[in-house]
């Protein structure tokens, strides 16, 4: 259960337990859903996609080191998220796309979705990928790249060719959505659609609200199943911009800046 804790200076309690619990802020009623940047704010059940779009846009326009000036990479297939039933399609030349980095979990037999109906409500498509399709739409990007469905897993030559280009695929993406919550592909992205995300601890006293910025995302990342896989760590390193979904908030990181949803 979410809670607020206050550790007074000089107390003998084990301060290590509070090392990654975040900060507590006092907000006036008029500030509870403040949209100003660099000020703490209360989080809603769904992730703030407008804030995430701002981060991506700001980085794209202002960070020279985050620009992709290398040769265009050949991505054979992408998921077109603009369709009523999103589907894997041949990748248009110079298409802008989001990449997904996630944990597959225990393998299980799924129907072939290379040509199947890929509606976000289709149970044949894993929950994390369905949520990534929704998040891609909310971020205003048309295409999503997911290794499991954009590389033909039954074609050894295609797998070899695409894996050899993996660095360029992730570097060429507008951003990489990183799913650190959960330990399999059916966990979903907390705060997207109906996927639950942990409640932000708050305490309201008359016109004021005590709120927590919660566990710092770095702590959530380092303790995640996602972080224990060498290839997912590599995907993160290769990406220009990383939008991380933890159990309770989103976190943005690029080569120049990092931002937390509860303290944008």
- The better pLDDT of the pair 7, 106 is held by 106
* Confidence band for 77, pLDDT divided at 50, 70 and 90: very high
Q: How far apart are CA 57 and CA 73, in angstroms?
A: 22
* Confidence band for 124, pLDDT divided at 50, 70 and 90: low
Q: How far apart are CA 24 and CA 69, in angstroms?
A: 41
Domain residue spans in the chain? 48-199+221-260
Q: What is the mean pLDDT of residues 98-103?
A: 96
* Segment holding 162, helix H or strand E: helix 156-164
Identify the pLDDT of residue 262: 85
At 167 the three-state DSSP class reads helix
**Per residue in 41-67, pLDDT tens?**
788 999 999 999 999 999 999 999 998
Cα dist from 35 to 27, 28, 42, 80, 124, whole Å: 13, 14, 10, 31, 38
Identify the pLDDT of residue 48: 96
Identify the pLDDT of residue 76: 82
**Per residue in 231-254, pLDDT tens?**
777 888 899 999 999 999 999 999
Q: Which of 213, 231, 124, 228 is nearest to 176 (CA)?
A: 231
- The better pLDDT of the pair 2, 171 is held by 171
Strands 250-254, 258-260: parallel, antiparallel or unpaired by DSSP?
antiparallel
Q: What whole-number percentage of the chain has pLDDT above 90?
A: 45
Strand partners, 77: 90
- The better pLDDT of the pair 101, 223 is held by 101
* Confidence band for 68, pLDDT divided at 50, 70 and 90: confident
Identify the pLDDT of residue 162: 86
* Confidence band for 121, pLDDT divided at 50, 70 and 90: very low
Identify the pLDDT of residue 35: 54
Residue 2 has pLDDT above 50, yes or no: no
* Confidence band for 38, pLDDT divided at 50, 70 and 90: low
DSSP state of 176: E
- The better pLDDT of the pair 217, 13 is held by 217
**Per residue in 186-232, pLDDT tens?**
999 999 999 999 988 777 777 777 777 777 788 888 888 888 887 77
């Amino acid at each position: 259960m979410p809670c607020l804790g206050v550790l007074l200076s000089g107390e003998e309690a084990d301060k290590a337990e509070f090392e990654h619990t975040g900060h507590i802020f006092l907000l006036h009623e008029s500030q509870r859903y403040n949209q100003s940047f660099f000020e703490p704010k209360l989080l809603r059940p769904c992730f703030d996609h407008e804030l995430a779009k701002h981060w991506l846009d700001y980085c794209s326009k202002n960070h020279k080191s985050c620009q992709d000036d290398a040769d265009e990479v050949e991505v054979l297939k992408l998921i077109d998220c603009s369709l009523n039933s999103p589907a894997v399609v041949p990748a248009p030349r110079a298409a802008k796309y989001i990449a997904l980095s996630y944990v597959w979990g225990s393998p299980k037999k799924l129907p072939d979705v290379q040509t199947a109906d890929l509606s976000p409500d289709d149970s044949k498509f894993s929950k994390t990928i369905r949520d990534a399709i929704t998040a891609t739409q909310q971020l205003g990007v048309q295409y999503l790249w997911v290794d499991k469905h954009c590389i033909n897993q039954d074609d050894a030559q295609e797998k070899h060719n695409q894996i050899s280009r993996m660095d360029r695929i992730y570097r060429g993406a507008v951003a990489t959505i990183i799913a650190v919550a959960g330990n399999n592909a059916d966990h979903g992205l907390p705060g997207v659609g109906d996927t639950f995300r942990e409640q932000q601890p708050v305490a309201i006293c008359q016109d004021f609200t005590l709120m927590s910025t919660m566990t710092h995302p770095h702590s959530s990342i380092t303790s995640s199943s996602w972080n224990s896989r060498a290839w997912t760590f590599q995907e993160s390193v290769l990406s220009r911009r990383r939008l991380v979904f933890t159990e309770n908030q989103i976190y943005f990181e690029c080569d120049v800046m990092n931002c937390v949803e509860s303290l944008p």
